[in-house]
């Protein structure tokens, strides 16, 4: 058993799951703030040099998990580890957001697709050399990922 502590809280305009964008690609321009515990603020030094950060967070509104899910972008059941659905054995979410500024313990971000009040677990700088493969193949998402901007969440993963 691994125990984690929330290191802060994510604030966004999304008060409920229904109708939310399903990825940052669907949340273009949406602004939010990431509030880190004041005692951890020193760890944010140098983050303002990066245009993007990877946020890891707790899907705190999801309870239990399913091994097969029907994702928002598909009509077929897929293995949960081949999807980004929140009902996972370890309910950790991941979003790459744009960093627009850092002031003491607050990070201002853009293109955020996260529920308001979500507990923050980690912040990592986005680094293309580390995080972007030179090629990629995307299975069942090959065509449907293009529908991400228009697709909205519903309550299927509550």
**Which residues make up the interface to a copy of itself (CB under 8 A)?**
1-7, 23-25, 36, 40, 42-54, 56, 58, 67-68, 78-84, 88-90, 92, 94, 96, 98, 119, 121-133, 135-142, 145-146, 148
In the complex, the smallest distance separating the C-beta of residue 95 from a copy of itself, rounded to whole angstroms, is 8
The span from the CA of 42 to the CA of 124, in Å, is 14
Distances (CA, A) of 7 to 16, 17, 49, 51: 22, 22, 21, 21
Q: In whole angstroms, how close is the CB of 102 to a copy of itself at the nearest point?
A: 9
Specify which residues 35 forms β-bridges with.
9, 106
Closest CA to 47 of 8, 84, 74: 8
- Report in angstroms how near the CB of residue 21 gets to a copy of itself at its nearest: 11
- Which is closer to a copy of itself, CB of 44 or CB of 115? 44
Tell me how far apart the alpha carbons of residues 137 and 142 are, in angstroms, rounded to a whole number.
7
* C-beta closer to a copy of itself: residue 52 or 116: 52
Q: What are phi and psi of 142, to 5 degrees?
A: -50, -50
17 or 126: CB nearest a copy of itself: 126
CB of 78 to a copy of itself, least distance (A): 5
């Amino acid at each position: 058993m691994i125990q984690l502590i929330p290191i802060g809280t994510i604030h966004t305009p999304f008060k409920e799951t229904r109708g939310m964008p399903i990825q940052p690609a669907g949340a273009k321009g949406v602004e939010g703030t990431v509030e880190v515990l004041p005692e951890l603020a020193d760890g944010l030094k140098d983050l303002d040099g990066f245009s993007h950060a990877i946020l890891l967070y707790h899907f705190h509104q999801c309870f239990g998990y399913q091994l097969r899910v029907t994702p928002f972008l598909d009509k077929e059941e897929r293995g949960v580890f081949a999807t980004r659905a929140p009902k996972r054995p370890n309910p950790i979410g991941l979003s790459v957001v744009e960093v627009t500024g850092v002031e003491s313990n607050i990070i201002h971000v853009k293109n955020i697709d996260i529920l308001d009040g979500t507990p923050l677990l980690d912040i990592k700088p986005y680094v293309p050399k580390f995080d972007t493969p030179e090629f990629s193949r995307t299975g069942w998402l090959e065509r449907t990922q293009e529908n991400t901007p228009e697709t909205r969440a519903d309550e299927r993963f509550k």
